[in-house]
Amino acid sequence: MSIEHLRARASICALTLISSLTLASGCSDDGGAEESESTDESGESESTDESESTDESESTDETESTDETDTTDGTEETDTGNLSCEPEGDVTISYSIEVGALDEPPSVDLDLACTLAEIDTDGVTQVLILDCPELENVAVIDIAVSPDMSLPLVGGEAISMRYILEGPWWFNTYLRLDVEGTGHLLTLIDGDSLLPPEEFEFTSPVELTAVYDLCEPVSDGCGQRERLALMTTIAGEEAQIFDANYAEVGGEEGTEIWVGAAGHLHEIECTDTPDEWFQVLIVGPGEG
């Protein structure tokens, strides 16, 4: 069956949830969450039928929030003092997640048993088409990153899919895929916290801790943005990965981590703007 045919199935009554979220920099004065995009510096989400991440974000609605949002849930803080700030790398993360029609948008909370119907790649974008009996149509996941990634899949694998889209002011995306028999495949985090709120059960394959006071804040249009680093330890190897950087941790066949965004916003000047945003892709075994 062709990808085009499967996509046509996916689009019937599809809820395609578009969110490429980074620390919100293009926030509207209206406040809210009906539409938003996400870049490396701001979170924008759209509660329509498609979820896609880009590099710019804006959040609009009719309900205003305060200038600062408490986003401490799931984000551990480490203050290491005046360490050096590493320069920005060339890491980018873009994705789209398409699922069937859902009963209770805009929030999504799915825990599904699926089969990988097809995988396709052009060397940059990985397209996974999942047949999940609980959905009316197939789920389609497109992910492209720089540096490129490769997934050890051939088709036919049994895959568990954990997918959370949590709002309403802006949308936080959490996706985890595990392959039966081999374990963790990939995890995508795109939101104001490294973990969703406690009412959503979600396990990260690695422990990530935000590290502060490494880089001087610079103006980004909605305030002073401080680049952060994420610290983790895998298979005895400790790594500190800065915003817009990539690392493979835990040996040659270790876990790959792309940090598309990790930032804290000081002196927020825009409404409905989170004070932190993280965009992270984790591929590989994780902590086991």
Least confident of 76-85, 178-187, 230-239: 76-85
Sign of the torsion formed by the C-alpha atoms of 181, 159, 278 and 165? negative
| DSSP conformation letters of the chain | --HHHHHHHHHTT-EEE-BB--S--S--TT--SSB---BTTB--B--SS-EEE-S----B-SS---S-----TT-EEEE--SPPPPPP---EEEEEEEE---SS-S-EEEEEEEEEEEEEESSSEEEEEEE-TTSSS-EEEEEEEES-------S--EEEEEEEEE-SSS-EEEEEEEETTTEEEEEEEEESSSS--TTS----SS--EEEESSS--EE-SSSEEEE-EEEEEETTEEEEEETTEEEEESSTT-EEEEEEEEEEEES--SSS--SEEEEEEEES-TT-
Distance CA 113, CA 248 (A): 29
- Looking at the chain, the whole-number percentage of residues with pLDDT higher than 90 is 62
Label residue 201 by pLDDT band (50, 70, 90).
very high
Write down the pLDDT at residue 27. 36
Instruction: Give me the chain's average pLDDT, please.
Output: 78
Q: What would the two tokens of residue 267 be?
A: 């002196």
pLDDT digits (tens, 9 = 90+) for 41-59: 333 333 334 444 444 333 3
Q: What would the pLDDT profile of 254-268 be if each residue is shown by its tens digit?
A: 999 999 999 999 999
Angle, vertex CA 91, rays to CA 87 and CA 94, nearest 5 = 150
Q: How confident is the model at residue 64 (pLDDT cuts 50, 70, 90)?
A: very low
Spell out a b/e string for 122-143, using b for 16 or more CB atoms within 10 Å of the CB, else e.
eeeebbbbbbbeebebbbbbbb
**pTM of this structure:** 0.72
